[in-house]
Structure 1
């Protein structure tokens, strides 16, 4: 975990990697809970028997589940001490290059791509690569935008 005293200290990392989170296992309970919350009950996520005979040999996590893990995983990488709040502002780009099979382990490799001063606070653009243990391709690549208010 990298601790930054304030927004200016974080901004000095523009264009650099902030770090890598710990590994997180995507188990069937979490995949099913996500399916229940989003009402996306597609068999490839929720039916282990049918999925075993499917294209991946097992159930796979929803791409959006991997995406939804970004706040949790990034929270392991950095924190700004004097920030009143950092809120999600949006996404610029998201791709899911490889499926995350049940019991896969993922982690976030996080870089600060840009910082823009706005009337609402600092707009931070992050580049996330959700690495998939044992795979050359990541489970997710995302460019997120956050607002930091001091």
Structure 2
């Protein structure tokens, strides 16, 4: 899939209310889950103890941290869109975010993104992106919400 190319606020305006795109799938293997546990000091057994999880977890598997799944958003977002002529981009906030379904170790996720709204704040583009992180071959979404980015165009 081709990336959507944005060079100005006006380019963004044309996308309001539309789906911007869908990323490729990316796998969340146990190794990435373990690295995230090390980085965040969150070693809860349901994430890192594969033998215990097989027996005691309702999923019969370890699961990715919800925040690991969420942290994939920038990587997946960059597969969908390329915003040029920027001084900087700021992650401004999250709204209405819900963790819908656990991602099992080894499952793959992708991002579906829609431009919900756009506002011009004294030359800064405030983009509210309605997003869903989907799990391959699963009907329920891993995460849904609205991510707000501030784009400071040159």
> Structure 2 length as normaliser, TM-score?
0.93
Q: How many residues align?
A: 150
Tell me, yes or no, if the aligned pair for 1:27 and 1:103 is still in contact at 8 Å: yes
Deviation at 1:81, TM superposition (A): 2.0
Q: Which aligned segments of 4 or more residues in structure 1 are displaced greater than 3 angstroms?
A: none
Cross-structure match for 1:139? 142
Cross-structure match for 2:96? 93
Task: Give the Cα separation in 2 of the matches to 1:11 and 1:148.
Answer: 13
Which of the residues 29, 45, 58 maps onto 2:31?
29
Task: Give the Cα separation in 2 of the matches to 1:42 and 1:121.
Answer: 40
Task: Give the Cα separation in 2 of the matches to 1:32 and 1:109.
Answer: 26
Task: Give the Cα separation in 2 of the matches to 1:10 and 1:117.
Answer: 11
**Quick one: structure 1 residues 42 and 9, their matched pair in 2 at CA, closer, same or farther if it must change by over 3 Å?**
same
- Say yes or no: does 1:19 pair with 2:21: yes
Q: What is the aligned-residue RMSD (CA, Å)?
A: 1.1
Instruction: Please give the secondary structure, in 2, of the residue aligned with 1:134.
Output: coil
Task: Give the Cα separation in 2 of the matches to 1:65 and 1:43.
Answer: 15
Once the two structures are superposed, residues 63-122 of structure 1 have per-residue CA deviations (whole angstroms, 9 ceiling, x without a partner) of 111111111100000012222222101111211111100010000001111001113611
Summarize the alignment of residues 1-150 of structure 1 with structure 2, pairs less than 5 Å apart. 1-53=3-55, 54-119=57-122, 121-150=124-153
Task: Give the Cα separation in 1 of the matches to 2:112 and 2:147.
Answer: 13
Give 5+ residue unaligned stretches, structure 1.
Answer: none
Give 5+ residue unaligned stretches, structure 2.
Answer: none
Deviation at 1:7, TM superposition (A): 2.2
> Structure 1 length as normaliser, TM-score?
0.96
Instruction: Please give the secondary structure, in 2, of the residue aligned with 1:140.
Output: strand
